[in-house]
Copies of this chain bind each other. A is one copy, B any other.
């Protein structure tokens, strides 16, 4: 019975995510989610109590928490700046390919039209980036003069812009990987104590987030 409830919640969450990506928050009704999921409106209210709460559950499911973000800290031996780059590739890929992550991003963009405080991942990203930059500094791998927490905030904001604008730019759709590569090349050149962005990016591309 508990398994069945968990399965229902998962189906509702994924149906809602799909519809939020396609139609946005305001354009999606509880009835739409009922039709798409094959579950009754009653089941939606029973499990999530309101459309707002279901939307918040979608945001928390991945966008606002990003549990896989924490894994890289545990892996020994991988240079911290390389971890940071791999992490960014993983998040960027999710924001392109994972419907729950994409729904979270769209709901965040529409947060001012939602009657609830939509949680964000940015504090967690900035904290993770600060730690990795501080680790790089401790290993002598960070350029002199780079202050981890200030640089981390700038990195997070810029990274968010790269993820958000990929499809909005000149010449139509750009490949997000190329754009991210280009941006990291410029950034790493300033961040690395001994700049060699091409080598670091090649090593990062050879890894996947799962490997970390």
Contacts of A173 in B (CB 8 A): none
B113 close to A27 (CB less than 8 A): yes
Contact with B along A119-153 (1 / 0, CB 8 A): 01011001100000000000000000010001101
A30 at the interface (CB under 8 A from B): no
Q: Can you tell how many copies of this chain the complex includes?
A: 2
Contacts of A97 in B (CB 8 A): none
How far is A159 from B110 in the complex, measured between Cα atoms in Å?
20
A186 close to B191 (CB less than 8 A): yes
Binds B, one of A51-59, A63-71, A163-171, A201-209: A163-171
Within residues 161 to 200 of chain A, which ones have a CB less than 8 A from any CB in chain B?
A: 161-162, 164-166, 168-170, 174, 178-179, 182-183, 185-187, 189-191
* 20 pairs from A and B in contact (CB 8 Å cutoff): A24-B112, A120-B168, A122-B165, A122-B169, A123-B170, A151-B186, A153-B179, A153-B182, A154-B179, A154-B186, A156-B169, A157-B158, A157-B164, A157-B169, A158-B183, A160-B164, A185-B190, A186-B191, A187-B187, A189-B189
